[in-house]
Amino acid sequence: MRILLSTCVLALCAAASAQRLAVDDAVLLRPYAGCVLMAGGSPHARLFGGQAWQNGVVPYALHASVTPAMAQGLAAAMQELSSRVRVQFVPHSTQTDYVLVRDASINSSPIGRQGGMQTLFVANWGTRFEVVHALMHVLGFWHEHQRPDRDTYVQVQQANIDPARAVEFSLVPLGNTYGQPYDFASVMHFGATEGGINGATTIVALPPNQSQQATMGQRTQLSVGDLEVLRRTYGSLQPPVVTGAAPSVVPSYQTPAITLTGARLDETSRVLFRSTVVNFQVLSSTQLRVTPPILPAIGPAPITVESGAGPSQAFVIQVNGIDPPRFEGPPVLNTQVQFPFRVYSDAGRYNLLLAAFDNVPSVAPGIVSLGLGNNFTSYGEVAIGIADASGLWTVNLQGPTGVGSGRQIWLQTVVFDPANFTLPLSSSNVLAVRVF
């Protein structure tokens, strides 16, 4: 079952501690508090609260009871998992947390990493996906039919269940289903008669899924759903893929959030915008929102999405300047204090800042269209500067002395490329400011 607990269930922690002591056959054959050993030959899990293995690395050691043939069966089952998702089973050396694998008359395992040594008991060495099922318990997964929502999909025939195995049919309310649909084909689902008294039916698929009755209990492969929850927990072997960006062309002066589309984006651990680490928000496995830095440099910008499996191929978006230029600043000018005014244009452009006063005749009408018609009766150059790599030019202005308080000034910039000077010049919006 494919629900993972990330926190230890209090009532079960004591049992987990006891399990760490289960290193000999005498203990193996004795039920501990809070758990029930199963009848021979059937796979099942003890309901301990466990955690995922860090970085998907599961150290394991073989007990002397494991023969070379058994070890081969175990290795084949481990390979089924490690060849599909980012899980590695490595021989135990000095790791604190590890799994001791031993031969037994039952399959049994705690759920997830317990801390310290924990024991995986295996009986069905020769049935690969029974061992895979047991390893899924080691990795932190419960039975599919123990999902909190299982009663919507199956009817559990409580009266037919061997009392010794009732715990394998209990609901796990804290389980995380990752929002995945109920999966009759999961390798973690019991078959229809599993755990039944004298082979009686224990699980019935409810309408409209009666056709799944025969699917339940398959032990021939990891289902699509199994692989998805394994991937969600431990990650893919392949890095994320980015196939699109919206928008793919962004203005440098006011960069919006960019939504990337692709695959495995929910495994993202880091996003690089050019070489800068930027914030991201996972929307789904196929969508990721990234927030580039304010005022990125104009030009191509490769975005790389990284996961534990490595970086994606770079997806290149374009950061553009703006034409016509955009002019921003405060609505007032003080004769004592400087205020920053900003012009957003294109990298390397020359900015010419012009000012017009409300009571002086125009001296050069028609050369630069300031857009104010008869209101604009004069103009004068205030400043000139060059836009930086982001297309930004900032100029600090203070009100002119000798101009009476309350007077109106209009400011506008014209922008040109000195290497390619063409008329008419690109002109910004007009800012009306008042002197005080």
* Shortest spacing between CB 133 and Zn ion, in angstroms: 5
* Shortest spacing between CB 137 and Zn ion, in angstroms: 6
Beta carbon nearer to Zn ion, 43 or 191: 43
Beta carbon nearer to Zn ion, 108 or 268: 108
Cα gap 185→198, rounded to integer Å: 24
For the record, the structure tokens of 77 come out as 């089952």
Beta carbon nearer to Zn ion, 129 or 410: 129
> How many other CB atoms are found less than 10 A from the CB of residue 206?
15
* Shortest spacing between CB 140 and Zn ion, in angstroms: 12
Q: How many helices (H) and strands (E) does the chain have?
A: 5, 24
Candidate ranges 38-46, 157-165, 208-216, 396-404; the one touching Zn ion (CB under 5 A): 38-46
* Shortest spacing between CB 143 and Zn ion, in angstroms: 5
Cα gap 337→363, rounded to integer Å: 29
Binding residue for Zn ion (CB under 5 A) from 5, 9, 38, 44?
44
* Shortest spacing between CB 123 and Zn ion, in angstroms: 12
Beta carbon nearer to Zn ion, 106 or 260: 106
For the record, the structure tokens of 173 come out as 């309310």
Q: Is the peptide bond before 302 cis (omega within 30 degrees of 0)?
A: no
Helix ranges restricted to H, 247-292:
none
* Shortest spacing between CB 151 and Zn ion, in angstroms: 19
Q: Residue 41 in 3-state DSSP?
A: coil
Candidate ranges 14-22, 40-48, 205-213, 405-413; the one touching Zn ion (CB under 5 A): 40-48
Counting contacts by CB under 5 A, is residue 45 touching Zn ion? Answer: yes
Beta carbon nearer to Zn ion, 89 or 141: 141
> How many other CB atoms are found less than 10 A from the CB of residue 315?
20
Interface with Zn ion: number of residues (CB under 5 A): 3
Longest dimension (CA), the chain: 106
Candidate ranges 43-51, 73-81, 118-126, 233-241; the one touching Zn ion (CB under 5 A): 43-51
Beta carbon nearer to Zn ion, 136 or 411: 136
Answer whether 130's CB lies under 8 Å from 107's CB: yes
Beta carbon nearer to Zn ion, 44 or 264: 44
Task: Tell me the helix, strand and coil percentages in the chain, rounded to 5.
Answer: 20, 30, 50
Report which of 347, 365, 370, 344 is spatially closest to residue 431, judged by C-alpha positions.
Answer: 370
* Shortest spacing between CB 169 and Zn ion, in angstroms: 11
Answer whether 189's CB lies under 8 Å from 144's CB: yes
Counting contacts by CB under 5 A, is residue 43 touching Zn ion? Answer: yes
Candidate ranges 44-52, 80-88, 172-180, 208-216; the one touching Zn ion (CB under 5 A): 44-52
* Shortest spacing between CB 296 and Zn ion, in angstroms: 51
Beta carbon nearer to Zn ion, 22 or 45: 45
Cα gap 76→73, rounded to integer Å: 5
Enumerate residues 6+ apart whose C-beta is below 8 A from 273: 290, 292, 293, 296, 301, 303
Candidate ranges 42-50, 294-302, 359-367, 406-414; the one touching Zn ion (CB under 5 A): 42-50
Beta carbon nearer to Zn ion, 124 or 412: 124
* Shortest spacing between CB 3 and Zn ion, in angstroms: 13
Cα gap 107→116, rounded to integer Å: 20
Residues in the chain, how many?
A: 436
Report the interface residues with Zn ion, using CB under 5 A: 43-45
